[in-house]
């Protein structure tokens, strides 16, 4: 799993905090923007050039949130994922040494073990 994908997962794990950070600047900016109603009753028009407000805005909260997500992905999630893949490869090598089966057939016992906390089901014995 790549860092970018993992950071996306971290964002989803902290979706409320992400939404708060994402809305931080527009929320602080909205009192500064004067709007006038349109003649057709549709969207209100800004009396200012809003692009100027976004050109050089302080993105510190957004950068800090992104940094914390990347840090978690790099320091916690990726080592865990790497360890999982290393153990999975060891599992396949050892199982292939015992059984003469295809990769798909060998993967089935792994899936059973993974779902059952590392133990084979007692069902059928």
- The pLDDT tens digits of the residues spanning 59-94 come to 899 999 989 988 988 898 889 889 988 988 888 888
Residue 125 domain-assigned? Answer: no
Angle at 117 between CA 115 and CA 118, to 5 degrees: 100
Q: In 10 A of CB 52, how many CB atoms? A: 9
For the record, the structure tokens of 3 come out as 């860092």
Give dist(CA 73, CA 4) in Å, integer. 9
Which is higher by pLDDT, 121 or 8? 8
- The pLDDT tens digits of the residues spanning 15-56 come to 899 889 988 888 888 787 777 777 776 666 665 666 777 778
pLDDT at position 1 is 47
Residue 77 domain-assigned? Answer: yes
Q: What is the span of the domain harbouring residue 62?
A: 3-37+45-115
Tracing tokens 């602080």 back to the chain, one arrives at 28
Residue 123 domain-assigned? Answer: no
Give dist(CA 71, CA 16) in Å, integer. 19
Residue 54 domain-assigned? Answer: yes
Count of domains forming the chain: 1
């Amino acid at each position: 799993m790549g860092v970018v994908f993992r950071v996306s997962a971290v964002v989803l794990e902290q979706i409320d905090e992400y939404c708060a950070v994402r809305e931080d600047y527009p929320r602080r900016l909205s009192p500064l923007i004067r709007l006038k109603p349109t003649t057709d009753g549709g969207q209100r028009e800004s009396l200012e050039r809003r692009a100027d407000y976004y050109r050089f805005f302080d993105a510190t909260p957004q950068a800090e949130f992104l940094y914390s997500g990347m840090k978690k992905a790099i320091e916690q999630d990726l080592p865990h994922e790497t360890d999982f893949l290393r153990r999975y490869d060891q599992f396949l090598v050892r199982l292939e040494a015992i059984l003469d089966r295809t990769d798909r057939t060998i993967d089935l016992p792994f899936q059973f073990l993974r779902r059952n906390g590392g133990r084979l089901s007692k069902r059928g014995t």
